[in-house]
Structure 1
Amino acid sequence: MNYLIDHGLLKNRIFRHVLYWVSFNLFFGFIWGTYDGNFSKSITIELSLLPSRILLVYFTLYYLIPKFILKNRIVLFIILYTALLVLITIFIQKPILWYFVRPYYLTDWKAEDYLSIISVANTLFDINRAAIIPLIAAFYKIYYTNQKKLLLLEKDKLKSELTHLKNQIHPHFLFNTLNNLYALILKKSDKAEDAILKLSDLMRYMLYETNPNKVSLDKEINYLKNYIALEKLRLEAGNNINFTSKSDKEYKIAPFILIPFIENVFKHCVMNQRTNGPSISIIAKNNRLTLITKNDKRITTSEGKGVGLENVKKRLGLLYKDKHSLEHHNTDNQYEVILKLDLT
């Protein structure tokens, strides 16, 4: 067997077919030969019935299945296969049995009518057993091929959806950041230069480091820090922002999966010296990431409001299906988000 595998013989279609028919005839020749110990006779009988079996198998494999099964015409396939089986039985198999096998090898065969129901049924079964294994193999191949196509289509669809959603995040983020820069320039703030450098770092990350499906969590957190730094430059009470991050080891995460929650904090928070600043915590431990954001709010925040959050919810469903949880806690004065991701 190792010789067959190593030299690729089992990969050769003709060899597989020959091997099947030889094995089939030897197996049933041995089975029937055990009744009288005359194995040569039983093998000869099996060989004499080979033409009808071959016709049934190959006409089904190379005509009926491509024409009807592959075109999802199942009922018509069953009707035609049954008709083919009956025709081969009556016009090929029965004559071979009646005029060759019976007079020369089965002389003590009990007489019966040529087209008796029992005789025809037995012959139908005899022919059909040769087609069972090839048909099972053919149907399994069709099923496997279809499943493979479905998986490829699903993968392409997923990739397309993720690319579309990720591309939507970029202009959304840039729009907010450019507004921040515009506000600094109007104020003629010395912080504008630093803001441009921070934006340059953000753009470099967005353009050149986020093409893979997963990026380093450390890089993603550094990206968030740069974003928060830009927000601090814009806000009068920017120092009143509490950001913490901890990680027990190196992790990978989908890029831009966290930024919409951080953007949402600054979009809806109240920022002055008399209020508590927003709190942002990212803890990655034991293969689980927990993001918690809290902020006082100036307007009523509804769950999932905004383009960024809608996109990130869709991306979470695609990338972390059954591996994430998202909670919103909305009170009169405070809004809290708790996101948990399984990073395994």
Structure 2
Amino acid sequence: MVDFFYSNQLRYRISRHLLYWLSFNLFLAFIWGSTGESYQIHLTVQALLWPARIFVVYGTLYVLIPKFFLKRNLFVFGISYIIWLLLVTIFVQRTVWQYSRSFFFPDWKNYDMFNVTEIMGNVFDLNLAAVFPLVFVFVKFYNAEQKKYLTLEREQYKSELNQLRNQIHPHFLFNTLNNLYSLILKKSDEAEDALIRLSGLMRYMLYEANVPKVPLSKEIEYLRNYIDLEKLRLNASNTIHFTSSMNKDQEIAPFILMPFVENAFKHGISNDKVSTIEISIIANKDLLTMTVYNTKKINANQDNGEKTGVGLVNVQKRLELLYKDNYEMIRNETESHYKMELTLNLI
């Protein structure tokens, strides 16, 4: 059924046209039958008008619509259609009625071809034949435009998500390589363990997370490994707490939680004063709640420049794209601490 109405194959197009003209004639037959006038007169009139209807319908479908309507020149299309109707009507008035009334309708001696009422009657009659094809074409065009728009929107959506996700990776690598570099400088035995953890993170980042959704357990494991790597460079004045719990392994967009963790370490850790970071992730059925609390290091406001805010700006864009109305983020910031609570519906 869909192919019949929307396919451009020749057999479907011919079938649609035949069905339309058959239906239109049946409609006119119903109108004729309700007037009580002679069928012979009506049949003759309709037969005389048939060529004019063909001109109006197919001139509109195959000339005006491709030339103006499909190019979105709607004003010119409307004016051209009206002019086309009037030209065909004048042709009907000057030829069909002028030369046929003496043969078929000798009683129509008082017929005035320039009478406005008669002209408008013919305009209406010819326009009636074109209305249904025009409605069909407009609906088909609208559906095609909607489909094209949705396709472009999906492509733009995917492109933007990939771009935002790719922007996270260099930021993460910069921090992690800095951590590893400091361990190598100290000639720490933990450097080997750090390399193993880093390789695991890279594997997840390059291969396992290259999909729209990943298991929540994998994302939490990724965060835990990152936090463990960050801990390697901290001293005793820094306190890090990370807890997670879930009663069901839901799926989540990869790296959607990571910028909050990165932000806490970037702006909350200081070796010059006591620093605290508390991260909690609780997944109860389909509802995930992430809470991040961190003390602010000295001169945090000066350090919070454009580059440091890229991660949070990107993640908020991703949240809007992926979860729209299915998330809530509350921030609370003072001179001494920063707290963020994210509630995410994973359905």
Report what 1:165 is aligned to.
164
Q: Deviations over 1:31-67 (max 9, x none)?
A: 1123237556534543432211111011111111111
Q: CA RMSD in A?
A: 2.8
- State the AA in 2 paired with 1:319: L
Of 95-104 and 201-210, the range deviating more from structure 2: 95-104
Q: Is the 8 A contact 1:52 1:88 kept in 2?
A: yes
Residue 294 of structure 2 aligns with which residue?
295
Structure 2, unaligned runs of 5 or more: none
What letter matches 1:230 in structure 2?
L
Aligned mates of 2:214, 2:93 — CA distance in 1: 67
Closer/same/farther in 2, CA of residues 57 and 209 from structure 1, 3 Å limit: same
Whole-angstrom distance in 1 between the partners of 2:31 and 2:10: 26
* Identity percentage of aligned residues: 52
Which amino acid letter does the alignment assign opposite residue 162 of structure 2?
T
Q: 2:246·2:285 contact (CA, 8 Å) conserved in 1?
A: no
2:337 corresponding residue in structure 1: 334
Other-structure match for 2:13 = 13
Q: 1:229 to 1:38 in 2, by over 3 A?
A: same
User: Which residue of structure 1 aligns with residue 279 of structure 2?
Assistant: 280
Q: Against the structure 1 CA distance between its residues 80 and 26, is the aligned structure 2 distance closer, same or farther, given a 3 Å change threshold?
A: same
Counterpart AA for 2:322: L
Query: In the alignment, residue 328 of structure 1 is paired with which amino acid?
Result: R
Pick closer, same or farther for the CA change 1:274–1:239 going to 2, 3 Å. Answer: closer
Q: 1: CA distance between counterparts of 2:93 and 2:256?
A: 68
Give the drift of 1:167.
1.1
Q: Distance in 1 between matches of 2:288 and 2:43?
A: 69
Q: Does 1:324 align with 2:323?
A: no
Determine if the alignment matches structure 1 residue 154 to structure 2 residue 153.
yes
* Distance verdict in 2 for CA 1:286–1:46, change over 3 Å: farther
* Superposed CA offset, 1:49-105 (max 9, x none): 22111110111111111111122322222222111111111213663345447853x
Q: Which residue type is aligned with residue 229 of structure 1?
A: D
User: Tell me, what secondary structure is at the counterpart of 1:339?
Assistant: strand
Q: Is the 8 A contact 1:237 1:271 kept in 2?
A: no
What is aligned with 1:70?
Answer: 70
Partner of residue 96, structure 2: 96
The alignment's TM-score, normalised by the length of structure 2, stands at 0.88
Alignment of 1:226-305 (within 5 A): 226-237=225-236, 240-270=239-269, 275=274, 277-299=276-298, 300-301=300-301, 305=308
- Could you tell me which runs of 5 or more consecutive residues in structure 1 were left unpaired when the two chains were aligned: none
Contact 2:238/2:274 (8 A) holds in 1 = no
Name the counterpart of 2:139: 140
Determine helix, strand or coil for the equivalent of 1:282.
strand
The residue number in structure 2 matching 1:343 is: 346
Compute the TM-score of the two structures, normalised by the length of structure 1.
0.89
Amino acid at match of 1:84: W
Cα pair distance change 1:307/1:273, threshold 3 Å = closer
Residue 316 of structure 2 corresponds to: 313
Moved over 6 A (4+): 8-11
Match of 1:34, as an amino acid?
A: S
- Cα offset, 1:181, TM superposition: 0.6
Partners in 2 of 1:110 and 1:148 — Cα distance? 56
2: CA distance, partners of 1:75 / 1:61 = 16
- How far off its partner does 1:19 sit? 0.6
Distance in 2 between residues matched to 1:93 and 1:280, nearest whole Å: 84
